[in-house]
Amino acid sequence: MLDKRLEDAFNDQINKELYSEYLYLGMKAIFADLNLPGFVNWFDVQVQEERAHAMGMFDYVFERNGKVVLEAIDRPDIKGSTPLEVFEQVLEHEEYVTSRINALMDVAEEVKDRAALSFLDWYLKEQVEEESSVGGVLANLKLIGDDKKALFMLDKELAARVFNPPVIG
């Protein structure tokens, strides 16, 4: 059985993962408008990953005989409109998600739920990978600047990203 505080914290994070899915869906639409299909594909994979993250926690709460409570998902707050501005926000958002996973682990630690801590380890590692891959795209965009040809090449590269359903936990 999950401690109530931990159950609430999991529900809060499920909402944040669903918000991430929604945010990236909004960003996918921006790149569709910009006619950059590789970036569209990159965000499509990201959307699927966020859904998988949310469902991983959703299923885990049930597995622990807890109760899932779904709240409203906020409207995606997308600040920029250029590839560089959007990716700056993606990195900022992923860093925020990392801080929320750490906070969730703090609650698991406080209620001494070692099983939950071990489950959440996967999410922490996933965040390290996400921050690194997003940071890589962002670094490329900074190098590219206004070079349209280089942006076209990066778009081709991002078209190769594929969604591999993660094995969580």
- Determine, following the binding rule CB under 6 A, whether residue 53 of this chain makes contact with ligand OFO: yes
Q: What is the 3-state secondary structure of 31-53? A: HHHCCCHHHHHHHHHHHHHHHHH
Name, in order, each residue with C-beta under 8 angstroms of 38's C-beta and a sequence gap of 6 or more: 154, 155, 156, 157, 158, 159, 160
Name, in order, each residue with C-beta under 8 angstroms of 16's C-beta and a sequence gap of 6 or more: 97, 100
Which of helix, strand or coil describes residue 74? coil
Q: Which of 28, 53 has the CB closer to ligand OFO? A: 53
Least CB distance to ligand OFO at residue 75 (A) = 18
Q: Give the distance between the most distant pair of CA atoms in the chain.
A: 56
Least CB distance to ligand OFO at residue 82 (A) = 21
- Determine, following the binding rule CB under 6 A, whether residue 41 of this chain makes contact with ligand OFO: no
- Determine, following the binding rule CB under 6 A, whether residue 130 of this chain makes contact with ligand OFO: yes
User: How far is residue 16's CA from residue 77's CA, in Å, rounded to a whole number?
Assistant: 13
Q: Which of 3, 131 has the CB closer to ligand OFO? A: 131
Candidate list 50, 86, 108, 116; residue touching ligand OFO; CB under 6 A = 50
Least CB distance to ligand OFO at residue 92 (A) = 11
Shortest-Cβ-distance residue relative to ligand OFO = 53
Which of helix, strand or coil describes residue 71? coil
- Determine, following the binding rule CB under 6 A, whether residue 20 of this chain makes contact with ligand OFO: yes
Q: Residue 68: which region, alpha, beta or left (left: phi > 0; alpha: psi -120 to 50)? A: beta
Instruction: Enter the tokens of residue 1.
Output: 């059985």
- Determine, following the binding rule CB under 6 A, whether residue 113 of this chain makes contact with ligand OFO: no
Q: Total residues at the site for ligand OFO (CB under 6 A)?
A: 8
Q: Which of 152, 164 has the CB closer to ligand OFO? A: 164
Q: Interface residues with ligand OFO (CB under 6 A)?
A: 17, 20, 50, 53, 94, 97, 127, 130
